């Protein structure tokens, strides 16, 4: 996924929250092409450049900054745990020139960590209930790890399943247990291609059981997904629900055998020294 230019980075190990807002981007209009100096056949006039967007007003710009910040907080699962009024109060103080003291930073870290821990616990409890109910549905199978899957389309049952190092192409849709979609190859208009062992554990386990052409519903427990680490659109501790269509498998390339050592070129033949001719016998007188 493409990383957004504005981001709220949360590190649960250090519980560090960082807002990075590149607010200014200056666009330059490309210079008009120089007129031709020689007579050339008439060509179609180039399409007019699109009009530059209007610069937002100060009110609109301020709103967009707040919207961006709030959206990023929401992505990691923080919603009604904080008050918009209190956030506004902090913004006003910062805009007036107040800087965070080390004690403030420590308090922020403690608050973010405790909030994420509470969100994680709440989501895991809800996920446990969801998994227990889903596991009783008709056609759902549960593996030893707790992964739940339902075969919607079996695919080519005679074909081989992917191996961990194979590359697969899939169409998929991912959502939370409340139905909120957080990712979809369908929305992007193209399937995803990756190696099996390069994705979350729940996907790895499911893919090596699937057949080409198969379509499964896969329910991934937190421990086989992102667990306590929040992701954009995925709060910490979330159970993940996927629809996965395995379109194709590309086996890993066989290891290239080392080339045999080259035979040294034949050495030039050493020319034998010429045997000197015997001296001529003097003629008799």
DSSP 231: B
For the residues 85-104, what does the mean pLDDT come to?
94
- pLDDT: which is higher, 58 or 28: 58
- CA–centroid distance for 167 within its chain: 16
Please give the pLDDT value at position 38: 44
Q: Indicate the pLDDT class of residue 50, thresholds 50, 70 and 90.
A: confident
Ranking 48-52, 179-183, 215-219 by mean pLDDT, the lowest is 48-52
Ranking 125-134, 183-192, 209-218, 251-260 by mean pLDDT, the lowest is 251-260
Mapping DSSP to helix (H, G, I), strand (E, B) and coil, where does residue 140 land? strand
Asked if residue 7 has pLDDT above 50, the reply is no
Please give the pLDDT value at position 283: 52
* pLDDT tens-digit map of 172-198: 999 999 999 999 999 999 999 999 999
What does the mean pLDDT of the chain come to? 80
Asked if residue 32 has pLDDT above 50, the reply is no
Please give the pLDDT value at position 112: 87
* pLDDT tens-digit map of 106-157: 999 999 889 999 999 999 999 999 999 999 999 999 999 999 999 999 999 9
Ranking 60-74, 91-105, 167-181, 256-270 by mean pLDDT, the lowest is 256-270
Asked if residue 224 has pLDDT above 70, the reply is yes
Asked if residue 97 has pLDDT above 60, the reply is yes
Please give the pLDDT value at position 264: 44
For the residues 256-285, what does the mean pLDDT come to?
48
Please give the pLDDT value at position 41: 54
Q: Indicate the pLDDT class of residue 258, thresholds 50, 70 and 90.
A: low
DSSP string, the chain: -PPPSSEEEEETTTTEEEEE--------PPPPPPPPSS-----PPPPPPPPPPPPPPHHHHHHHHHHHHHHHHHHTT-STTS-HHHHHHHHHHHHTT----HHHHHHHHHHHHHHHHHHHHHHHHHHHHHHHHHTTSTTEEE-TTS-EEEEEE---TTSPPPPTT-EEEEEEEEE-TTS-EEEEHHHHTS-EEEEGGGS-HHHHHHHTT--TT-EEEEEE-GGGTTTT--BTTB-TT--EEEEEEEEEEEPPPPPPPPPPPPPPPPPPPPPPPPPPPPPPPPPP-
Please give the pLDDT value at position 44: 64
Percentage of the chain exceeding pLDDT 90: 62
- pLDDT: which is higher, 2 or 43: 43
Please give the pLDDT value at position 232: 84
């Amino acid at each position: 996924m493409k990383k957004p230019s504005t981001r709220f980075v949360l590190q649960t190990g250090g519980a560090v929250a960082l807002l990075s807002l590149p607010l200014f981007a200056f666009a330059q209009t490309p210079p008009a092409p120089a007129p031709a100096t020689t007579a050339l056949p008439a060509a179609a006039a180039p399409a007019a450049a699109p009009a530059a967007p209007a610069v937002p007003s100060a009110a609109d710009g301020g709103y967009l900054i707040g919207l961006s910040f709030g959206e990023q907080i929401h992505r990691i699962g923080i919603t009604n745990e904080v008050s918009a009024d209190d956030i506004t109060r902090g913004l006003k103080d910062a805009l007036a020139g107040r800087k965070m003291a080390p004690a403030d930073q420590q308090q922020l870290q403690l608050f973010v960590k405790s909030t994420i821990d509470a969100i994680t616990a709440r989501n895991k409890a809800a996920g446990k209930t969801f998994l227990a109910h889903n596991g009783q549905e008709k056609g759902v199978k549960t593996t030893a790890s707790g992964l739940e899957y339902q075969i919607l389309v079996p695919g080519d049952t005679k074909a081989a399943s992917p191996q961990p190092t194979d590359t697969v192409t899939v169409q998929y849709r991912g959502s939370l247990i409340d139905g909120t979609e957080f990712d979809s190859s369908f929305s992007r208009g193209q399937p995803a291609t990756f190696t099996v062992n390069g994705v979350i554990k729940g996907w790895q386990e499911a893919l090596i059981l699937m057949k080409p052409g198969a379509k499964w519903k896969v329910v991934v427990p937190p421990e086989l997904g992102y667990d306590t680490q929040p992701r954009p659109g995925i709060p910490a501790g979330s159970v993940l629900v996927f629809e996965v269509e395995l379109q194709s498998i590309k086996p890993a390339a066989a290891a290239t055998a080392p080339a045999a050592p080259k035979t040294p070129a034949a050495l030039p033949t050493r020319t034998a020294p010429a045997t000197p001719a015997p001296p001529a016998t003097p003629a008799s007188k």
